[in-house]
Amino acid sequence: MADRELGFRRNAQGLLTLSGTPLGALVTPLFEASRSGTPAYVYDLDGLDAGARALETSFGSAPHVTAYAVKANSAGTIVRTFARAGTGADVVSGAELEVALGAGIEPRKIVMSGVAKTDAELDLAIARDILAVQVESIEEIGRLAARARAAGKRARLGVRVKPGVSIDSHAHIATGHDAAKFGVAKTDLGAAWEYVDRHPELSAVGVSSHVGSMLREVDPYLATARVVCEVVKARLAGGHALEYADFGGGYGIDYGGGAAPAPSAFVGAALELLRSEGLSALKLVIEPGRSLVGPFGVLVARIVQTKESAERRWLMIDAGMNDLIRPALYGAKHRVELLDAAPADPEWRVVGPVCESSDDFGAHPLGRAPSGLVVLRDAGAYGFVLASEYNGRPLPAEVFVKDGRVVHVSASPGRESWVARRLQA
Ligand SMILES: Cc1ncc(COP(=O)(O)O)c(C=O)c1O
Q: What are the tens digits of pLDDT across the range 286-325?
A: 999 999 999 999 999 999 999 999 888 999 999 999 999 9
The yes-or-no verdict on residue 223 having pLDDT over 50 is yes
Pocket test for ligand 1, best of 66, 70, 71, 296 (most atoms within 8 A of CB): 71
Taking the centre of ligand 1 as the mean of its atom positions, its distance from the CA of residue 332, in whole angstroms, is 17
| Burial class of residue 178 in the structure, from the number of CB atoms within 10 Å of its CB (0-12 exposed, 13-18 middle, 19+ buried) | exposed
The pLDDT, as a whole number, for residue 2 is 46
Nearest ligand 1 atom to alpha carbon 252: 10
Question: Ligand 1 in contact with 160 (CB < 6 A)?
Answer: no
Q: Which atom of ligand 1 is nearest to the CA of 114?
A: 1
Q: Is the dihedral of CA 233, 180, 383, 365 positive or negative?
A: negative
Q: What share of the chain is helix, strand, coil (3-state, %, to 5)?
A: 35, 25, 40
Pairing verdict, β 64-69 and 88-91: parallel
Q: Is 249 in the pocket of ligand 1 (CB under 6 A)?
A: yes
- pLDDT at position 6, please? 79
Residues 116-170: pLDDT tens digits?
A: 999 999 999 999 999 999 999 999 999 999 999 999 999 999 999 998 887 666 6
228 lines ligand 1 (CB under 6 A): no
Atom of ligand 1 nearest to the CA of 290: 9
Closest C-alpha residue for ligand 1 atom 6: 289
From the CB of 113, is ligand 1 less than 6 Å away? yes
Give the pLDDT confidence score for residue 1 in this predicted structure: 45
Closest ligand 1 atom to 134 CA: 1
- Whether residue 229 lies in the annotated active site: no
Which are the contacts of 40, defined by CB distance < 8 A and separation ≥ 6? 27, 30, 31, 299, 300, 396, 397, 398, 399, 412
Residue 66 is predicted with a pLDDT of: 98
Atom number in ligand 1 closest to CA 288? 11
How many angstroms is it from 250 CA to the middle of ligand 1? 6
With beta carbons less than 8 A apart as the criterion, state whether 250 and 202 touch: no
Angle at 310 between CA 309 and CA 313, to 5 degrees: 50
Kindly report, residue by residue over 233-290, the tens digit of the pLDDT.
999 999 999 999 999 999 999 999 999 999 999 999 999 999 999 999 999 999 999 9
* Interior angle at CA 128, CA 125 and CA 129, nearest 5: 80
Q: Is 246 in the pocket of ligand 1 (CB under 6 A)?
A: no
Interval 193-207: pLDDT, tens: 999 999 999 999 999
Task: Indicate the average pLDDT of the chain.
Answer: 94
List 171, 179, 355, 425, catalytic entry: 355
In this prediction the pTM is 0.96
Strands 64-69 vs 40-44: parallel, antiparallel or unpaired: unpaired
Q: Is the CB of 176 under 6 A from ligand 1?
A: no
Query: In whole angstroms, what is the distance from residue 251 CA to residue 287 CA?
Result: 9
Give me the phi and psi of 164, to 5 degrees please: 70, 35
Burial class (CB in 10 A: 0-12, 13-18, 19+), 298: buried
pLDDT at position 34: 66
Q: How far apart are CA 147 and CA 120, in angstroms?
A: 9
Q: What confidence category does residue 175 fall into, taking pLDDT thresholds of 50, 70 and 90?
A: low
Share of the chain above pLDDT 70, in %: 96
Confidence grade of residue 333 (pLDDT, cut at 50, 70, 90) = very high
**Gap from CA of 69 to ligand 1 centroid (Å):** 6
Question: What distance in Å separates the CA atoms of residue 49 and residue 56, rounded to the nearest whole number?
Answer: 11
The rounded Å distance from CA 294 to ligand 1 centre is: 13
Nearest CA to ligand 1 atom 7: 250
Nearest-CA residue for atom 15 of ligand 1: 210
Ligand 1: centre distance to CA 353 (Å): 30
DSSP 372: S
User: For residue 27, is pLDDT > 60?
Assistant: yes
Whether the CB of 320 sits within 6 Å of ligand 1: no
Q: How many percent of the chain have pLDDT more than 90?
A: 89
**Dihedral, CA of residue 364, residue 370, residue 375 and residue 376, to nearest 10:** 20
173 Cα: distance to centroid of ligand 1 (angstroms) = 9
Question: In the prediction, which pLDDT does 30 show?
Answer: 86
Q: Residue 110 and residue 117: Cα distance in Å, rounded?
A: 15
CA 217 to centroid of ligand 1, rounded, Å: 16
Cα(221) to centroid(ligand 1), Å = 12
The residue among 411 and 179 whose pLDDT is bigger is: 411
Whether the predicted pLDDT of 179 surpasses 80: no
Section 351-356 average pLDDT: 97
Q: Which residues neighbour 283 within 8 Å (Cβ) at sequence distance 6 or greater?
A: 63, 64, 65, 206, 243, 244, 245
Residue 171 has pLDDT above 90, yes or no: no
- How many other β-carbons are positioned within 10 Å of the β-carbon of residue 180? 18
The terminus-to-terminus CA distance of the chain in angstroms comes to 49
Residue 421 CB burial class (10 angstroms; 0-12, 13-18, ≥19): exposed
| pLDDT score of 5 | 72
Please tell me the predicted confidence (pLDDT) of residue 311.
Answer: 80
Ligand 1 atom closest to 215 (CA): 10
